[in-house]
Amino acid sequence: MMTSKQQELLSFIHRRLEEGGVSPSFEEMKDALDLRSKSGIHRLISALEERGFIRRLPNRARALEVLKLPEGMERAKKPALVAAPKAPAPIMPIAANDIIEIPMHGRIAAGVPIEAMEGQNMLSVPAALLGAGDHYALEVAGDSMMEAGILDGDFALIQKTDVAREGQIVVALIDESEATLKYFRREGPRVRLDPANSAYEPQLYDAAQVRIQGKLAGLLRRYN
């Protein structure tokens, strides 16, 4: 049997997900259940998780998914005097405020190419900034992409790919040793990497010298 507080919390989480697709914060759960501290919410969530009613989404902050509802709550949702047709069980909504952790691969030049450094750190990123596929992050060094709104110290969110279309902003690995963030263009048999700053000249390379390692998917900026 579920306790009354477990049922009350499950109902609150489910209702908030159905209304807006966003799971409530622990503070909101505490207030809704009139509890004195969030430790009680942690215990209730752990109990619901152990019994298979909810699960915490991996690598995502404040994101819960309702897996099932107890029979009493399911029946209570149906109108008392109307016989509704039987329909497939609805897919439970997932929080829209997901946070995903992606690998942080050091610094990348937005000016003269510098060596791309592999790192073990992770960067927490709102899922809404990313599309399909695998991603990683690079800290921008330099100002050659400033006219594209990419500034020194920004975090470039990169979708992994080895191909690019004309005019896309890409991570280009040059001679297997140096990486840079530039507009990708072709000039005959050669590759031209264009900056977004009139103080810098385009960089021309033989196509065999350049390997695409990803394209820009988003940008994060700190203001402190």
Annotated catalytic sites, by residue? 144, 182
- Biggest alpha carbon–alpha carbon distance for the chain: 75
Whole-number Å distance between alpha carbons of 215 and 191: 15
Length of the chain in terms of residues written: 224
DSSP label at residue 197: S
Distances (CA, A) of 90 to 26, 68, 70, 78: 25, 10, 15, 13
Which residues on adjacent β-strands are paired with residue 65? Answer: 55
DSSP label at residue 81: S
The residue behind tokens 């080895």 is 162
Whole-number Å distance between alpha carbons of 196 and 207: 21
Give me the torsion for CA of 159, 163, 169, 171, rounded to 10°: 70
DSSP-derived 3-state class of residue 76: helix
SS3 content of the chain, % helix, strand, coil (to 5): 25, 30, 45
